[in-house]
Structure 1
Amino acid sequence: MQNYKTNCFNSDNYSIKCGDKSINFEKPIVMGILNLTPDSFYDGGSYLDKTSILKRSEQIISEGAKIIDLGAYSTRPGAAIVTEREELERMLPALEFICKEFPSAILSIDTFRSEVARKVVAEFGPCIINDISGGTMDDNMFALIGELKIPYIMMHIQGQPQTMQQNPVYVDLMKEVLSFFRSRIKKLNDLGATDIILDPGFGFGKTLDHNYEILSKLQDFNAFQLPILAGISRKSMIYKFLGGDPSSSLNGTTALHMAALQKGAAVLRTHDVKEAFECVQLYSKIKSFKE
């Protein structure tokens, strides 16, 4: 790992602005998942009407999450392709409900399409854009982020969601993922965007061992001095190793959340906000005696 130092992200002095709202990273934060899709791998089809969307949003906020992450296009391995129109038809009504009921909520839009991002911001104001492709699936995304000056979650992926888990191969996993971030961060910075969160992309073009190698070396990403997001919640890296399925993977999720926090994660993206928030509270209590 030449030219990289570990543990150099100073969370005490880092914050991001999202319109008139801000997020500081004095301690790690939780992002609650709200899937607006019928086919997401864990809770697909659970939040498709106004009542369930608002109930889930209230739960996410009340259980301690700083951010609600809305996704209208399932990107699980082998997921069906969704048109831009379908994505917007799912996303825009949900945003209208949430923004009216919870106007102070910080929202993240899980999309790799620049036009979806543009329309959301035009209609509902600044939000975070959570892009599973790191700008590789829409050539206009980076220019848009630079133009709008909105926060951006840059995820690493190898391949496309429909095929990414068909024998992913790396010559040097960490070197390649770090190189991806180095070049993509520079490109985004050159366009005027600086509020960036990094997501190494657990389960996105990675084998089981790739996922655990990244988790074991998560601190290496602190070299970029940007917050790291861990998207581990109920993923196959847990139940394919321990057995079971997504519904039985909460305990494994919590265990890996603590490991991610110890390795420098600043954001836990999760289906189970209460448990993740408690994990952050316990981690922060332990860490308070290490200074």
Structure 2
Amino acid sequence: MNSYKISINDTKKVFTQLNCDTGGISILSKKSKLHTLYIKDMHVGAANILKQDALSIGAELAVPTGVITAKEKHVDGILIGTTKHFEILSRKELAQPFGLKNLAKDLKAYVQQNSNKTKIMGVLNANEDSFFSGSRFDEIQASSRIEEMISDGADIIDIGAVSSRPGSIAVEESVELQRVKSIVDTIYENKYFEKVDFSIDSYSPLVIDYVLNKGFKIVNDITGLSNDEVCKVSSKYNAQVIIMHMQNDPSNMQDNPEYENIMLDLDKYFQTQIQKAQSFGIKDIVLDVGIGFGKTLEHNLTLLNNMEHFKHFGFEVIIGASRKSMIDKIVSSSIEQRLPGTLAIHLESIKKGASIVRCHDVKEHYQAIKVLEAINSIN
């Protein structure tokens, strides 16, 4: 008898290949994935109850010393268990006091996460001050660049006409529309929207209305639907909306950004903005944590390492760290030298739950993602 350790990427597939009983495959799959959940500010009573309930089913709750004697009224903890454990606890804690009923609902959401096909969103800028010169194109070059992106493997092409780099200043809606109009008209006339989906990187209702009437399907709003008019026009066209988080605005977002707890702060933000979107009738939502938009390097790394958390809302998550300055803070590099760092961030983000990758280098991302998918297809 010999053995070797394996990594299971698709539990149902590997148990099917093993010729397990059909009824047992689902049960085995739920026992195969381990979850760790950080819980803040639990009432000590909740901690003691949850600790005992977790231990009784083979899970665990890590808590500070002194919890059993209620040394502190509120404590943090880390719940460790499989999908099966979380499902059991999501039922058991519904009848418990000290806020555990709300935790039970969260546990259920954390393990009911759908997987989505990875999609590549290529970036095409119609403004001269975008931070990466390689993404800038005028209407004359647009057709060839769009066709190249489609050939390289883009599923979505994101068009923008206003820079959102740190320190940039907003422009008038009419100026933004003038910048983007010719490219949008070219897309419409050539029916490129029948080959890939087009997204508008804008928070201008005037611009958004124009492009959605020209075959665009996605609104990429860096302000996270702060403007009700954007909500109204997006709903009118039944567009998909990307809600991004940004602290302050591009002119000052990198001026000493601070958070009480970045994970919980963004979670609360998304909860609020999702409710707002849905109140306007917007159903198709994507979440963007906004790497580099009002975040320090540590904030960015925390979000990247814990991106899977945001899937509990039930929506797709997009990652957009293409050639951003956080790479230079890790390894000294110019914008032109940041493709390897970009690929590292984006591939890891896919492993952590992101299913849309916004990037400047479509061809390189297509190859890297296909290789990753091939590796993960083997169990």
Same fold per TM (> 0.5)? yes
What's 1:38 paired with?
Answer: 128
What's 1:262 paired with?
Answer: 351
Structure 2 CA distance for aligned equivalents of residues 109 and 174 of structure 1: 27
Q: Unmatched 5+ residue regions in structure 2?
A: 1-37, 40-102
Residue 38 (structure 1) shift:
0.3
Whether the 8 Å contact between 1:37 and 1:45 is mirrored in structure 2 is no
Whether the 8 Å contact between 2:306 and 2:352 is mirrored in structure 1 is yes
Residue 127 (structure 1) shift:
1.7
| Superposition pairs of residues 65-214 of structure 1, within 5 angstroms | 65-101=154-190, 102-104=192-194, 105-122=196-213, 124-136=214-226, 138-214=227-303
Letter in 2 for 1:211: N
Q: Secondary structure of 2:228's match? A: coil
TM-score by length of 1: 0.89
Whether the 8 Å contact between 2:317 and 2:356 is mirrored in structure 1 is yes
How big is each residue's C-alpha offset from its partner over 1:66-118, in whole Å with a ceiling of 9 and x where there is no partner? Answer: 00100001111111321111100011110111222324131000001122211
Residue 140 (structure 1) shift:
1.7
How big is each residue's C-alpha offset from its partner over 1:25-67, in whole Å with a ceiling of 9 and x where there is no partner? Answer: 3x201000001110111127831241x2112111211110100
Q: Out of 138, 144, 162, which is 1:48 matched to?
A: 138
Whether the 8 Å contact between 2:131 and 2:165 is mirrored in structure 1 is yes
Which segment is superposed worse, 167-176 or 36-45? Answer: 36-45
Residue 284 (structure 1) shift:
1.6
Q: Aligned pairs, how many?
A: 273
Q: Unmatched 5+ residue regions in structure 1?
A: 12-24
What's 1:17 paired with?
Answer: none
Structure 1 CA distance for aligned equivalents of residues 376 and 312 of structure 2: 20
Structure 2 CA distance for aligned equivalents of residues 281 and 114 of structure 1: 37
Q: Which has the higher helix share?
A: 2
| Superposition pairs of residues 210-249 of structure 1, within 5 angstroms | 210-249=299-338
- Considering only aligned residues, what root-mean-square deviation do their CA atoms show, in Å? 1.6
Which segment is superposed worse, 28-37 or 139-148? Answer: 139-148
Instruction: Kindly indicate whether structure 1 or structure 2 has the higher relative contact order, using CA contacts under 8 Å at least 6 residues apart.
Output: 1
Identity of aligned pairs, percent?
36
How big is each residue's C-alpha offset from its partner over 1:180-214, in whole Å with a ceiling of 9 and x where there is no partner? Answer: 00111112112211111111000001011110110
Letter in 2 for 1:178: D
Letter in 2 for 1:47: F
TM-score by length of 2: 0.69
Letter in 2 for 1:183: T
**CA gap 1:271/1:44 in 2 versus in 1, 3 angstroms:** closer
Larger CA Rg, structure 1 vs 2: 2
Residue 145 (structure 1) shift:
2.1
Structure 1 CA distance for aligned equivalents of residues 136 and 253 of structure 2: 26
Q: Secondary structure of 2:219's match? A: strand
**CA gap 1:45/1:285 in 2 versus in 1, 3 angstroms:** closer
Q: Secondary structure of 2:163's match? A: coil
Q: Out of 258, 266, 276, which is 2:365 matched to?
A: 276
Whether the 8 Å contact between 1:38 and 1:44 is mirrored in structure 2 is no
Deviant stretches of 4+, over 3 Å: 1-8
**CA gap 1:85/1:217 in 2 versus in 1, 3 angstroms:** same
Q: Secondary structure of 1:140's match? A: helix
What's 1:288 paired with?
Answer: 377
**CA gap 1:75/1:84 in 2 versus in 1, 3 angstroms:** same
Letter in 2 for 1:93: S
